[in-house]
């Protein structure tokens, strides 16, 4: 459970599942080897914790895409989303606590740390809950990180610009895809393709619950095809908004469904980036991790249950 909680904190502060897996997976692998634990279980735990932040963090690209396409505040989406996922979080922690993890090990040696290095993460988490614009939150987090790095002598001010540049360039593909998908969706709308898809999805649907399942199915299918939850949300977002208008589904619920189902499947498909990175670092097959990606499975169960048990809709 400790590894899951640490991963949740890191992913919530970073807002990226891939970054969390890359940062935490080496620690998980080391722990599994030292205590002779189930490597696939440790991998599944790290992947689940990574998807926690991708789903709930207010600086996550997935969350930003979902809230922007539905024109809803991140705080409203967060409140709705946490209510849906709280059972999954609790059950996952209980299941992990019940699992035998292997032999105990005594850690020796000096392991220095500096609490000052946590300041950028804490700042981002705190400011994101204040309702401050995400760009300003990220900018303040970056500036704080640069100041701490220069203060500690980890890099110079000039070198920090190179580090920031490399980070921006790593998002180049995502930016281009988002632009192209936006153009494609607009073209589909102009040619009547979006109306056709909505009619095909909602032809036999008579209720808001059915509308939510249509949205969930659409974004899940797109995620399985693209293996990218942000791209699937950007593509499905306009369609989901139209379905929501037709069946009077609240915007926070739609945003929550988009992020939750896309993130859940992204942590379950063996050819997705998260499982491939985790499996590569652990030197096991991605298919071995899938049965142990418990949190992602519980996300689906909790979300489907919430839709089935829901009654009245919130106001938009």
Map out the domains of the chain as residue ranges. Answer: 2-100+113-309
CA pair distance 102, 38, nearest whole angstrom: 8
CB 29 within 8 A of CB 39: yes
User: Would you state the pLDDT for residue 316?
Assistant: 41
CB 137 within 8 A of CB 124: yes
User: Would you state the pLDDT for residue 129?
Assistant: 82
| Burial classification of residue 121, based on how many CB atoms lie within 10 Å of its CB (0-12 exposed, 13-18 middle, 19 or more buried) | middle
Tens digit of pLDDT per residue, the chain (316 long)? 899 999 999 999 888 898 899 889 999 999 899 888 899 999 999 999 999 999 999 889 899 999 999 999 989 999 999 999 999 999 999 999 998 766 666 656 666 777 888 898 888 888 888 878 878 888 998 999 999 999 888 888 889 999 888 888 877 776 787 678 778 777 877 888 777 877 787 788 888 999 999 999 999 988 888 888 888 898 889 889 999 998 999 999 999 999 999 999 999 999 888 998 899 999 999 999 999 999 999 999 999 999 998 864 444 4
Radius of gyration of the chain (CA): 20
Cα within 13 Å of Cα(208), Cβ side: 19
User: Would you state the pLDDT for residue 176?
Assistant: 80
* 18-to-123, 126, 162, 213, 301 alpha-carbon distances in Å: 21, 22, 21, 27, 23
State the CB neighbour count (10 A cutoff) for residue 37: 17
Bin 172: left if φ > 0, else alpha if -120 < ψ < 50, else beta.
alpha
Predicted TM-score (pTM) of the model is 0.83
CA pair distance 57, 80, nearest whole angstrom: 13
User: Would you state the pLDDT for residue 314?
Assistant: 44
- With the CA atoms of 70, 193, 225 and 179 taken in that order, what torsion angle do they form, in degrees rounded to the nearest 10? -60
């Amino acid at each position: 459970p400790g590894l899951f909680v640490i991963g949740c904190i890191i992913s919530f502060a970073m807002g990226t599942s891939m970054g969390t897996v890359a940062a935490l997976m080496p620690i998980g692998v080391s722990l599994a080897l030292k205590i002779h634990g189930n490597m696939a279980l440790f991998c599944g735990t790290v992947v689940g914790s990574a998807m926690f932040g991708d789903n709930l963090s207010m600086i996550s690209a997935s969350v930003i895409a979902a809230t922007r396409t539905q024109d809803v505040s991140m705080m409203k989406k967060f409140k709705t989303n946490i209510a849906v996922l709280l059972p999954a979080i609790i059950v996952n922690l209980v299941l992990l606590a019940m699992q035998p993890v292997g032999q105990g090990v005594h850690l020796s040696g000096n392991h220095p740390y500096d609490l000052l290095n946590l300041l950028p993460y804490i700042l981002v988490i705190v400011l994101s809950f204040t309702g401050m614009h995400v760009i300003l939150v990220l900018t303040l987090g970056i500036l704080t990180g640069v100041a701490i790095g220069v203060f500690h002598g980890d890099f110079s001010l000039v070198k920090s610009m190179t580090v920031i540049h490399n980070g921006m360039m790593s998002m180049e593909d995502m930016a281009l895809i988002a632009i192209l998908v936006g153009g494609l969706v607009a073209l589909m709308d102009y040619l009547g393709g979006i109306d056709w898809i909505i009619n095909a999805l909602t032809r036999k649907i008579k209720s808001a619950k059915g509308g939510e399942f249509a949205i969930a199915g659409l974004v899940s299918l797109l995620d399985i095809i693209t293996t990218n939850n942000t791209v699937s949300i950007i593509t499905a977002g306009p369609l989901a908004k139209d379905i929501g208008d037709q069946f009077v589904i609240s915007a926070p619920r739609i945003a929550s469904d988009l992020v939750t189902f896309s993130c859940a499947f992204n942590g379950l498909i063996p050819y997705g980036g998260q499982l491939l990175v985790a499996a590569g670092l652990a030197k096991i097959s991605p298919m071995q991790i899938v049965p142990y990606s418990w949190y992602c499975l519980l996300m689906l169960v909790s979300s489907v249950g919430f839709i089935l048990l829901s009654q009245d809709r919130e106001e938009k």
